[in-house]
Structure 1
Amino acid sequence: MAVSVILHRVADYDAWRKVYDSVAQMQTDGGVTQESVYRMADDPDNVLVLHYFNDVDTAKAFFANPDLKDAMQRGGVQGEPRIEIFE
């Protein structure tokens, strides 16, 4: 099993969340078996996303998908997201 930890700032959480929810099928197709989203208590546009995968290779392939990068841009992700994968 693998888990990815994604930290990023978004321009507007509500706008980002609409895009995030719209790509649920991309997550399923990319091997995400479970996901959860959290917002920093004192900074609601600072977002933590956890994605679970069956293995590290599947997680790496998911994050290499250019459609994911496009979705992040459409969602208003600011700067380069921090993405860590753990097994």
Structure 2
Amino acid sequence: MPYVLVRHKVEDYTRWQPVFDENTPLRQARGSKGGYVFRNIDNPSEVIVLLEWENLEKARHFMQSEELKAAMRRGGVAEQPDIYFLEEVTKPSV
């Protein structure tokens, strides 16, 4: 399954998080299987999201959607995010 890693800076994490959470049903409907949200310890305004997707086509479509762009504006994403489309190659046991 493909993954999408998004790295972006937010103006205020407490503003961003509820917008991200309220978009969970939309992500699920578009093919997201869930994932993780991380914050940079040294720079708490840097947020990294890693999401698993049903397929690459759905992932790419969602990442280019107007709904996502609007949510990023509402959540206070401060600059253009870095978006990476990934495939799992191996899962180390340790």
TM range, normalised to the smaller chain?
over 0.9
Taking only aligned residues, the RMSD between alpha carbons, in angstroms, comes to 0.8
Whole-angstrom CA distance in 2 between matches of 1:64 and 1:81: 12
CA deviations over 1:31-63 (Å, ceiling 9, x no partner): 000221000011111000001012211110111
Whole-angstrom CA distance in 2 between matches of 1:54 and 1:23: 17
One-letter amino acid of the structure 1 residue matched with residue 69 of structure 2 = K
Aligned length in residues? 87
Could you say which residue in structure 1 is the equivalent of 2:58? 58
Whole-angstrom CA distance in 1 between matches of 2:73 and 2:44: 18
Could you say which residue in structure 1 is the equivalent of 2:47? 47
Whole-angstrom CA distance in 2 between matches of 1:29 and 1:35: 15
Q: Percent identity?
A: 33
Q: Can you give the 5+ residue segments of structure 2 that lack an aligned partner in the other structure?
A: 88-94
One-letter amino acid of the structure 2 residue matched with residue 58 of structure 1 = K
TM-score (ref. length: structure 2):
0.89
How far the C-alpha of 1:65 sits from its partner, in A, is: 1.3
Could you say which residue in structure 2 is the equivalent of 1:85? 85
CA deviations over 1:3-32 (Å, ceiling 9, x no partner): 001000000001000111111111101100
Residues 1:23 and 2:28 are matched in the alignment: no
TM-score (ref. length: structure 1):
0.95
Structure 1 outlier segments of 4+, above 6 Å: none
